[in-house]
Amino acid sequence: TNPLIDLSRKTNGTQDRAEFAKHVADGLSQHPKKLSSRYFYDAKGSKLFQQIMDLPEYYLTRAEYSLMQRHRSAMVRAFAAGGFFHLVDLGAGDALKTKLLLQELERQQKPFDYVPMDISGSAMQELSKDLQQAHPDLHVQAVVAEYITGLQWLEQHLTERKVVLFLGSNIGNFEREEGLEFISQIRRHLQPGDLFLLGVDLTKDPDIILAAYNDASGVTAAFNLNLLERINRELGGNFDLDDFKHFALYDPQLGVMKSFLVSQCEQEVYLEANQARYSFAAWEAIHTESSHKYTLPQATEMGRSAGFELVTSYLDEKGGFADMLFKA
Ligand code: AVJ
C-alpha cells in the first residue's frame, strides 16, 4: 500500500470556502432557489449518509451489495479476461461493495492492483489502512481527488488496462444530460478494451423510492438539513433549522426523486461570508438534490451515446438495481 496521492485543493481551505460562499450566494439569489447536493458531504454529512445506508427504507446499498454477492464470480472473470488490470473505484468511500470484488479477485488469483479515488481524504486514509490489514499482498494506490482530476491522473499515470467502477447510483445525482457528459468524460479517459461498471438504481414502485428518501426515523431529513448547518458553521450563516423542513417527492414520469428544504415562514437569513441577506417567502423551497432513476434501456442508451458498448447487466434478485458492464 502506497501513501495517498492528494490532488484535492483542501490545503487551500480559503479557496474552498470562497467557492462554497459563491455557490450559496448564487443559489439563494435565484428563483427557484437551489443548492447542490455536492455540499452534503462534510464530516457530519458523511456520517449521516452512513446511517442512511443502514435504514430499512434505503434499499439501494443492500440491493447493490447482494447483487455483487450474486454476480461477483462472473464479474471477476469478465474483468480479468484480458490479463492484468488497474481496478479504479470512483467515489470509493468505505468500499463496502468493492471489498466483495477484492475478495473474489484474490480467491480466483487474478492479477490486478486497486486504485480507490474519493474526495474525502479521511475516507481514503481509513480505507488504505483497512486494506493493508485485510489484504496485505494487495497493491493499493488511493487518490484523493474530485472525479475529473482523478480521471486525468489515471490517464497519465496508469499504463495497463483499466476497469473503472462507478457504483452506488452516484450517477443519479447528475441531471440526465450532465450524467451523459460525465460518462462521456470517463470514456474519453479510457482506451478501447477498457471496462466500465456503472451502478444504477432502476425505476420501480414509486412508493418504495419515495420512502427511501423520506424515512420514518428522519435521518434523511437531518442529512438534508445538515446543508444549512454546514452553511452556518463554515460561512457564518444564521439559519434557524427549526424554520425549515425536509420535503421529498418522486416524479414517476421523469423518474426523478427530488428533495427540498422548505422555509416554514417568511424570513431573512444573514451570511457573514458574503455580508449579505437572503429572503425567503413563507413556504418558499430550496431544491437540494435530485436522484435520477433509470430504466435498463435508458441507461444502455446513455452508455452507447457516451461511446461504450454494453457487455452485460447484472441485476439484484428483485430486479430493482443494476450494475451495467460497458466496454470502451
Ligand atoms: C449517494 C447519490 C447515491 O441519491 O440515493 C441518499 C444520496 N440522498 N439519500 C442517493 C442520498 C438522500 C444517494 N447517492
Summarised one tens digit per residue, pLDDT across range 224-272 is: 999 999 999 999 999 999 999 999 999 999 999 999 999 999 999 999 9
Strand 195-201 and strand 162-166: the pairing is: parallel
Amino acid at 232: N
Residue stretches of the chain with pLDDT short of 70:
10-13
Expressed in angstroms and rounded, the spacing between residue 314 Cα and the centre of ligand 1 is: 21
Say how far apart CA 153 and CA 207 lie, in whole Å. 41
Grid cell 452508455 is found at: 303
Task: Using the atom order of ligand 1, give the atom closest to the CA of residue 212.
Answer: 9
3-state SS of 98-154?
HHHHHHHHHHCCCCEEEEEEECCHHHHHHHHHHHHHHCCCCCECCEECCHHHHHHHH
Ligand 1 proximity of 64 Cβ (cutoff 6 Å): no
Sign, CA dihedral 114-120-125-130, equals negative
Nearest-angstrom CA–CA distance, 262 and 286: 6
Whose alpha carbon is nearest atom 13 of ligand 1? 170
Q: Residue 83 Cα, ligand 1 centroid: separation in angstroms?
A: 34
Q: How far apart are CA 262 and CA 241, in angstroms?
A: 10
Alpha helices (runs of H) in 158-295, residue ranges in sequence order = 176-188, 206-212, 219-235
Q: Tell whether ligand 1 has an atom less than 6 A from the beta carbon of residue 52.
A: yes
Alpha carbon of 222 to ligand 1 centroid (Å): 13
Of all protein residues, the one whose alpha carbon is nearest to atom 10 of ligand 1 is: 291
Could you report the per-residue pLDDT of 180-227, keeping only the tens digit for each? 999 999 999 999 999 999 999 999 999 999 999 999 999 999 999 999
Going from the Cα of 62 to the center of ligand 1, the distance in angstroms, rounded, reads 13
Measure the CA–CA gap between 261 and 311, rounded to whole angstroms. Answer: 40
Spell 233-258 as b/e; 16+ CB within 10 A means b: ebbebebeeebbbbbbebeeeebbbb
Ligand 1 pocket test, pick from 49, 64, 217 with the greatest ligand atom count within 8 Å of Cβ, gives 49
Nearest to 215 by CA among 55, 59, 64: 55
Is 220 near ligand 1, meaning CB less than 6 Å away?
Answer: yes
CA of 48 to the centre of ligand 1 (A): 11
- CA 261, CA 242: separation in Å to the nearest integer? 11
Name the residue of 90, 97, 173 to mutate for ligand 1: max ligand atoms within 8 A of Cβ. 173
Report the candidate in 154, 186, 158 with the shortest Cα–Cα distance to residue 170. 186
pTM of the model: 0.95
Residue nearest to atom 2 of ligand 1 (CA): 170
Closest protein CA for atom 1 of ligand 1: 170
Q: Decide whether any atom of ligand 1 lies within 6 Å of the 168 Cβ.
A: yes
Structure confidence at residue 11 (pLDDT): 56
217: which 3 cell numbers? 426515523
Nearest protein Cα to ligand 1, atom 4: 291
Q: Report pLDDT for 145.
A: 92
Q: Provide the pLDDT for residue 69.
A: 98
Nearest atom, ligand 1, residue 291 CA: 4
Give yes or no for a contact between 143 and 5, defined as CB atoms under 8 angstroms apart: yes
Ligand 1 pocket, 274 CB below 6 A? no
What's the gap in Å between 216 CA and the centre of ligand 1?
Answer: 16
SS3 159: coil
